[in-house]
Amino acid sequence: MRIRAVTLFTDDLASLPNLLNRVNAGISVVSSKYGVSIVTKRVTLPFVDNINAAKEQLRILKSIAARRGYVYSGLSLMTPLDPFTVVKLITEYDTYSMVWMPEYDDELANFYINLLKSMASEEPLAARKVAILLGDLIETPYYPASVNVKGGTGLSIAILYASDLLEGGDLQRKLKDLVGKANAIGEELSELAGVEYRGIDASLSPWGQDSVVKVIEKVGGLRFGELGTMAAIGFINRLISELPFNKTGFNEVMLPLGEDNELKERFNDGLVDLFKLISYTQVCVAGIDMVPVPVSELELSRNLLLDLTEVVRVKGRSLGVRLIPARGTSMDLGEDFGKSPVISLLTGRVLK
């Protein structure tokens, strides 16, 4: 098990240097004591509604948080701003950004599409840092769909544990043991840092070879995409939902295409397409995440958002969407995740 993210939620930028120093000191203690590695450290701020205020926040984050090894989400939006200015802020300040769409909204959909179009011509990988959250507002350590909902200061964590679940033994017990250990570390870290503990997002998420698809295939006795896949995902989700810990955020199976090497292979093999992935969002979270799509088909993103808004309405749970504008049939997503196939929004299949 690894700690995928330690996320500090705050609205107190004046105290940020002291806060981050305390969190860093706490991380040193728990890392040594429990032998766990921390993949990322994060700072999440509340929503912004003003470009000038956003610039000032981001300037402070870049000078204080980045210097201490933190990435940050300082550009969460409820209403659209000028898309070209937002893209400039994302690239200049290296911030993550979340757009909240509680119900389908044409203006917000246009804003997101224009963001992607602007990024496509300048810096396509910047789209990794932007997501739309559909449905109810939630507070999660998972980026980019992270915003300080409660206000004030608190801490939450997310973990990587897919490979641990492949080692055998009773799945329910293993889940409980791993998440319980991580939750205890989160509680101790919060106490050491002197901030409120807001809980663990126990979502099962991938990281390259640390594949969620492998877990689903083992549980279902199948290849991902075959009949029975949805049932296997749903079974794991129910086990996560029953965990008796202080949870926050999504707490579901996550299937980001660009982050799971086995999921890429199932797409390449033709066992899965975009439409199957959309159907799986009925029983898991953010199935349409880290998906490279052709620049020429970005207008079809509107129909994708319409479909997923309907899933949210029926399911009663929030979903995240993160698309990456791409040219060609594959896209290099960077050193963490490597190449991913590009998926047609028109056919749902790998672009040939």
Q: What is the residue extent of each domain of the chain?
A: 2-256
| CA-to-CA dists, residue 31 to 6, 20, 23, 153, angstroms | 12, 16, 12, 22
CA trace torsion 159, 164, 168, 172 (10° rounding): -10
pTM beyond cutoff 0.75? yes
Q: How confident is the model at residue 351 (pLDDT cuts 50, 70, 90)?
A: very high
pLDDT of 287 over the 80 cut: no
Q: How confident is the model at residue 349 (pLDDT cuts 50, 70, 90)?
A: very high
> What does the pLDDT read at residue 286?
66
Label the pairing between strands 38-44 and 70-73: parallel
What is the Cα Rg of the chain in Å? 19
How would DSSP label each residue in 244-296? -S-B-S--SBB--GGGBHHHHHHHHHTS--HHHHHHHTTTSB--SEEEEEEGG
> What does the pLDDT read at residue 168?
81
Mean pLDDT, range 240-251, rounded to an integer: 97
Joined tokens for residue 286: 């953010």
Tell me which of 71-75, 118-122, 249-253 is least confident: 118-122
Label the pairing between strands 2-9 and 154-160: antiparallel
> What does the pLDDT read at residue 31?
97
Average pLDDT, the chain: 96
Joined tokens for residue 113: 């599409």
The model's pLDDT over 311-343, given as tens digits with 9 standing for 90+, comes to 999 999 999 999 999 999 999 998 789 999 999
Report the distance separating Cα 116 and Cα 298, nearest Å.
8
Report the distance separating Cα 212 and Cα 162, nearest Å.
6
Q: How confident is the model at residue 49 (pLDDT cuts 50, 70, 90)?
A: confident
The model's pLDDT over 179-213, given as tens digits with 9 standing for 90+, comes to 999 999 999 999 999 999 999 999 999 999 999 99
Domain 2-256, CATH among 3.30.2310.20, 3.20.70.20, 3.30.360.10, 3.40.50.300: 3.20.70.20
Report the distance separating Cα 269 and Cα 265, nearest Å.
6
Mean pLDDT, range 63-91, rounded to an integer: 96
